[in-house]
Structure 1
């Protein structure tokens, strides 16, 4: 039985740093771990990469050859990976007997709630290699300092959970920096437990930029609360590294 994590989240949320820290932690507790880089734009890896998608396809080459921007290029790369899933399967087979797997995915959020390629890649790996995977969805904690951005993060997390249909953990990363972005309107538990969002709507109403969207915001908050799926755990990767 092989276990692993699918690490996703918006650009800058700390996915690569998380994979690096988690791999170090697992090694320290005696686990064999393999980090799999599936981000074709991630060319400065701080961790030892056992499998690297850049051996198969590079975003820079795709953008140059097909005159695509970074977003279109990433979609192309995921489509190419899906069509060449046998390549990834052959790379992973020697590892699945005794390694814990960390999959470092691209930061383009549309790949995980709008397009199906990344989902199909994950599903094929689960089926072919009998993997047991959990999604770790990182969200930068600074979004808590802005009510509108926090609601957007909630919607993104909910959409991703529903789309991927896997065990799922939402993580507020860089929690050590959250207060440097400004004083939070509520205590941290409000944001991690996703408590009564009607309080948040009041703060949104104070902002003249969002006042005209008050009704839309209210409806979106009700959708999030009706599903009652989203909550967050907090992470300060530096504290973890210092501890171990």
Structure 2
């Protein structure tokens, strides 16, 4: 049985930094670790890469050859990876005997709740290689400083959890920088425990940009609370 993490989250949330820090931590405690880069747009890797999707398909080549933008190109690359999953499986088989696996996925959020290719890749690997994977979903902690953005982050986290159907951990990354974005309306535990979201309504009502979305925001908060699935742990990867 092989264990590992599927590292996901919006662009800029710190996925690659997390994979680099986690791999160093695991090595320090005596674990063998393999980082698998599945982001074809990630051409500056700070970690030693055991498997790199760019050996199979490159986003820059896809954009030129298929006349696609970055988002469309990433969807194409993930679809291409799914159709050539045997390529990835063959490169993972020598590692699964004694390595802990870290999968560094692209940051385009639509890959994880609008399209099914990324999920199909994960599920095929779980089935064929008998993997036990946990999704680690990173969200930039600065979103807590804006009530509207925080609600959006909650909705994204919930949608991703329901779509992937994996054991799941939501992480507020870059927590060491949170105070630089301004004073939080409530203490940090309010945002990590996802407590009574009705308290956010007052702050949303003060923003003229969100006034016309008041009813929609209220309904979204109620959906999030009804599921009762979302909470966060905090992380400063540089402190690990």
TM-score range, shorter chain: over 0.9
Matched with 2:192 is 192
Q: How does 1:19-38 map to 2 (within 5 A)?
A: 19-38=19-38
Matched with 2:54 is 54
Deviation at 1:45, TM superposition (A): 0.1
Deviation at 1:238, TM superposition (A): 1.3
Matched with 1:214 is 214
Partners of 2:105 and 2:170 in 1: CA distance: 15
Residues 1:87 and 2:80 aligned together: no
TM-score scaled to structure 2, two decimals? 1.00
Partners of 2:49 and 2:66 in 1: CA distance: 27
Deviation at 1:127, TM superposition (A): 0.1
Residues 1:111 and 2:119 aligned together: no
Q: How does 1:94-243 map to 2 (within 5 A)?
A: 94-240=94-240
Deviation at 1:212, TM superposition (A): 1.2
- How many residues in Structure 1 have an aligned counterpart in Structure 2? 240
Deviation at 1:239, TM superposition (A): 1.2
Instruction: Give the RMSD, CA atoms, in angstroms.
Output: 0.3
Partners of 2:125 and 2:188 in 1: CA distance: 37
Pick which of 52-61 and 200-209 moved more. 200-209
Partners of 2:233 and 2:80 in 1: CA distance: 34
- Residue segments in structure 2 that go unaligned for 5+ positions in a row: none
Partners of 2:199 and 2:211 in 1: CA distance: 15
Deviation at 1:211, TM superposition (A): 1.0
* SS of 2:103 mapped into structure 1: strand
TM-score scaled to structure 1, two decimals? 0.98
Partners of 2:222 and 2:184 in 1: CA distance: 22
Deviation at 1:165, TM superposition (A): 0.2
**What are the Cα deviations for residues 61-108 of structure 1, in whole angstroms up to 9, with x where unaligned?**
000000000000000000000000000000000000000000000000
* SS of 2:171 mapped into structure 1: strand
- Residue segments in structure 1 that go unaligned for 5+ positions in a row: none
